Structure 1
Amino acid sequence: MNRREPLGIAVIGAGRMGADHVRRIDRTIGGARVAAVADVDAARAEAVAADIEGCTAHTDPAAAMAAPGVDAVLVASPGPAHEATLLAAIEHDLPVLCEKPLTPDAASALRVMEAEQALGHRRVQVGFMRRYDAEYVRLKALLDSGQLGRPLMLHNRHRNVASPPFFTSSMLITDSVAHEVDATRWLLGHEITAVTVLRPAASAGAPEGLRDPQFVVLETDGGALSDVEIFVNCGFGYQVQAEAVCERGTARIGDGHALVTNMAGRWGGTITQDWSERFAQAYDDEVRAWVDSTRRGEVTGPGVWDGYAAAAVCEAGVRALENGGRVEVDLVDRPALYR
């Protein structure tokens, strides 16, 4: 593409995530502008677009993509709506940044993959923003350097203050552990081959019927194990932590000890309360990198294969949650486009 003028973006979905991306594009990053906003709620789309000069509001994603000045698409609508939007964007050969999940299941992700392969080149980046978080980037670089030797285990903790009222037990896997699934694949450079989900007694702080917390074990084709404590009603804060255990040492991120106070006979710090605070810079850096690579005519971030692999692993995880025991992950052969 190699362009000088700002990249015109259609943002699909004007809820909390979509509105935050609109703000980010309009006020924080350079080289792009919001050209159109779409949401099933017309009033919400109009409210988000109202303060942006030249931005049009729509209820139909296809209309937003066809709006004047649109060069690329950012998808922030609910997961079940992603497939139709992605297929339309691919049909029009538009670059896309799609918030995770790519699609809610492996079958629909495969349909998106087939459409992109038919196009003949990559167009879709998936929003696994932890790949842009400074701490995760440093951990990845350290593991890739080989200084610690071969990674043997990866311990992950993912805690939320409270779950949304619509959260189900399977969503702990598909909406939360999905991040650790991608982080495991990316940090270790392995594919995940099997999933086991263990279910301790439910916390008294969890809504009735919600299996929270859960303990997930991921096996990889590189011989490593990755475990995830997912606890979405911990009550005290939002924490995302990871520790790599390697042959010659360990490395840990996410302790959040950037500021420690000493006062009145006590020492301590603060705990972030949600993802928008913890990963604000990662989202900025992710969207900025996507805009910059798109303007160069490149796709550089996690793609459709990564979204498909995460969906397949999460499907296996949901089966393991529901039926107990170890469930193997069934992946298709990786197409040449994604090697």
Structure 2
Amino acid sequence: MSLRVGVIGTGMIGQDHIRRLTKVLQGVEVVAVNDIDENRATAIAPEGAKVFTSVKELIHSETVDAVVICSWGAAHEEQLLECIAAGKPVFCEKPMVISEESALKVLAAEVAYGKRLVQVGFMRRFDADYRRLKAVIDGGTLGTPLMYHSTHRNPSVPEGLYTSDMPLNDTLVHDADISRWLLSDEIDAVEVRVPRRSTRGGELRDPTIVLLHMASGAIVDVEISVNIAYGYDIRGEVSCELGVAALPNRPATVISDQHGIRQAIPEDWRERFIEAYDQEFREWIAAASAGTATGPSAWDGYAATLTADAALRAVTSGQREPIKRISKPDLYN
């Protein structure tokens, strides 16, 4: 029997996930959709899917086994809490929530329920290149990891829709999560440095350098450039005691001709991580079909929120801003 899914939010990422769930993957069926724009939801809804005008009714519908949240971040808290109250597995796109207070409410609700239901959409953990890099780190052949270099470059961002805070409260969460996962570590403090501003970004604070101070003493440096023009370029390299390991450039094909030696650059996140998104949902479908969740947890969403909050404090203060976490509940160990 297929997992019957309701999708909340039919914007760009919602539409891509609906395509994935209906045309790429097996064992799943989109039976319900909702969007603040009812006309868009109606236009996007797969054949046979019901368009709900109420999020609460979609979540509690007997026809819906699990929920995919692709709405804007400020709506996530209420929707996640409703899914937990209904006892339904839920995939939530990042950011999980937009405040520490909201994250703590989600953690408390899931812990009280007694079982993991929430998976957060940190798709890099499902990318084959990142998984191979983690295997090298965990294998120990290079010794203890000392530094991790993470680069996150976008060719451009929508004018007027991307603010100066978004590199730190939206973009950074991916680099923060992948750093925690790769190094099996937590982030204890954050520093932010703003170099000379790119003229392509107008008043946007771009580029930005972020230093993540890990609990182990390792340091992660993150370069965020969102108007780099040439393409969507994601890089990562870990420096260990006995050597270094780095992600390969994607795509890996190298062309040599009369114009020189070159590689193509992905145009955007969909091209670079399409396989990771597919694998992310394969694993979510399997877990949700069993009534639970695996992958990035609500705790991981909480940690990313704390990091973003500390980064926003750091860019204002110019200082190293500490992160204070609650004790990790046993549910997430």
Same fold (TM over 0.5): yes
Could you tell me how far 1:19 is from its partner in structure 2? 0.7
Could you tell me how far 1:164 is from its partner in structure 2? 1.9
Give distance in 2, aligned partners of 1:173 and 1:320.
Answer: 10
8 Å contact 1:56–1:67 — kept in the other structure? no
Aligned residue in 2 for 1:108: 102
Aligned residue in 2 for 1:131: 125
Gaps of 5+ in 2: none
8 Å contact 2:88–2:291 — kept in the other structure? no
Could you tell me how far 1:264 is from its partner in structure 2? 2.3
Whether 1:332 and 2:326 are equivalent positions in the alignment is: yes
Aligned residue in 2 for 1:7: 3
> Aligned to 2:201, what secondary structure does the other structure show?
coil
Aligned residue in 2 for 1:27: 23
Could you tell me how far 1:67 is from its partner in structure 2? 3.4
Amino acid at match of 1:198: R
Could you tell me how far 1:335 is from its partner in structure 2? 1.1
> Aligned to 2:220, what secondary structure does the other structure show?
strand
Greater mean deviation of Cα atoms: 211-220 or 62-71: 62-71
Among 168, 174, 178, which residue is 1:173 paired with?
Answer: 168
Aligned residue in 2 for 1:315: 309
Give distance in 2, aligned partners of 1:175 and 1:232.
Answer: 12
> Aligned to 1:194, what secondary structure does the other structure show?
strand
8 Å contact 1:170–1:321 — kept in the other structure? no
Whether 1:158 and 2:116 are equivalent positions in the alignment is: no
> Aligned to 2:112, what secondary structure does the other structure show?
helix
State TM-score, norm by structure 1: 0.96
Could you tell me how far 1:101 is from its partner in structure 2? 0.8
**Correspondence list, 1:261-280, <5 A:** 261-280=255-274
User: What percent identity do the matched residue pairs reach?
Assistant: 45
Aligned residue in 1 for 2:115: 121
State TM-score, norm by structure 2: 0.97
Among 17, 39, 42, which residue is 2:38 paired with?
Answer: 42
8 Å contact 1:45–1:59 — kept in the other structure? no
**Correspondence list, 1:49-198, <5 A:** 49=45, 52-165=46-159, 166-198=161-193
Aligned residue in 1 for 2:277: 283
> Aligned to 1:168, what secondary structure does the other structure show?
coil
Give distance in 2, aligned partners of 1:60 and 1:226.
Answer: 42
Give distance in 1, aligned partners of 2:26 and 2:188.
Answer: 40
Give distance in 2, aligned partners of 1:122 and 1:221.
Answer: 25
8 Å contact 1:37–1:55 — kept in the other structure? yes
> In the TM superposition, what whole-angstrom CA distance separates every residue of 1:99-121 from its partner, at most 9, and x where no partner exists?
11110111101011111111111
CA RMSD of superposed structures (Å): 1.1
Query: Runs of at least 4 residues of structure 1 off by over 3 A?
Result: none
> Aligned to 2:80, what secondary structure does the other structure show?
helix
> In the TM superposition, what whole-angstrom CA distance separates every residue of 1:241-282 from its partner, at most 9, and x where no partner exists?
000000111001142251111222422121111101100110
Give distance in 2, aligned partners of 1:271 and 1:170.
Answer: 26
> Aligned to 1:152, what secondary structure does the other structure show?
strand
Could you tell me how far 1:226 is from its partner in structure 2? 0.3
Aligned residue in 1 for 2:199: 204
Aligned residue in 1 for 2:246: 252
> In the TM superposition, what whole-angstrom CA distance separates every residue of 1:37-95 from its partner, at most 9, and x where no partner exists?
1100001100111xx23201123211222335210000111111100100111110000
> Aligned to 2:105, what secondary structure does the other structure show?
helix
Amino acid at match of 1:241: R
Give distance in 1, aligned partners of 2:258 and 2:138.
Answer: 44
Aligned residue in 2 for 1:239: 233
46 and 81 in structure 1: CA distance in 2 versus 1, 3 angstrom threshold = same
8 Å contact 1:36–1:67 — kept in the other structure? no
> Aligned to 1:26, what secondary structure does the other structure show?
helix
Whether 1:230 and 2:243 are equivalent positions in the alignment is: no
8 Å contact 2:251–2:266 — kept in the other structure? no
Amino acid at match of 1:322: T
8 Å contact 2:250–2:272 — kept in the other structure? no
Gaps of 5+ in 1: none
